[in-house]
Amino acid sequence: MTSQALEEQREAARITLRKLLLIIPVMLVFCASMVPLYRQICSVLGITASRAIAQNTQVDLSRTVKVEFDANVNRDFAWRFEPVEKSVEIHPGAVVTIRYRVTNTLPYATSGRAVPSFGPLAAGLYFNKLECFCFSNQTLQGGETREMPVTFYVDPKLPQDIGSIALSYTFFHILDEQKKT
């Protein structure tokens, strides 16, 4: 390779390096501008946290509903499972978070899945879960204990004759499910 070709390569490398060094501050400015830009777009579209909170003004303060929590484990599944709070008194429309505690009593990891049920059955139509551990696999290491939240609200349209709701979860061992298929 000639010295002129070598010099041309070095010059091309310098130009590329300058371009890269210019791109870095441009990217930093772009990233820094994204937060205010995002806030502005959300504001224009009316998607704000204060609006989300304002929409939850449909709380029916004229009545309370007792929600009782139950926990079960299917057959010989070696987990302990219980609600941390046994029941709560809530106003329909109010967002509430409660917790369940689960412990794997085995010395090795196992997985399970919880399935909810409601009593009376009609109450399930008015029980809205915003966050829940149900229907997704949960893996616990040997001896691990975990608290799992359930965030929910009861629709204010809940019929007046329903004054109490039972939310029950049953944990199933995933291997039991796989044997059925």
Domain ranges of the chain: 3-53, 65-180
For residue 71, give the nearest of 58, 85, 52 by alpha carbon. 85
Mean pLDDT rounded to a whole number for the chain: 83
What's the CATH architecture for 65-180? Sandwich (2.60)
**C-alpha to C-alpha distances, 53 to 59, 93, 135, nearest whole angstrom:** 12, 12, 27
Question: Can you give the length of the chain in residues?
Answer: 181
Residues 6+ apart with CB under 8 A from 42: 48
**What is the model's pLDDT at position 29?**
60
Q: What is the pLDDT of residues 50-84, one digit of tens each?
A: 444 445 558 989 999 999 999 999 888 889 999 99
| Count of Cβ atoms closer than 10 Å to residue 93 Cβ | 18
Q: What is the pLDDT of residues 132-162, one digit of tens each?
A: 888 789 999 999 999 999 999 999 999 999 9
Report residue 180's pLDDT band, with 50, 70 and 90 as the boundaries: very low
| Count of Cβ atoms closer than 10 Å to residue 165 Cβ | 23
To the nearest whole percent, how much of the chain has pLDDT over 90?
A: 52
- The whole-model pTM stands at 0.64
To which residue do tokens 């794997």 refer?
Answer: 104
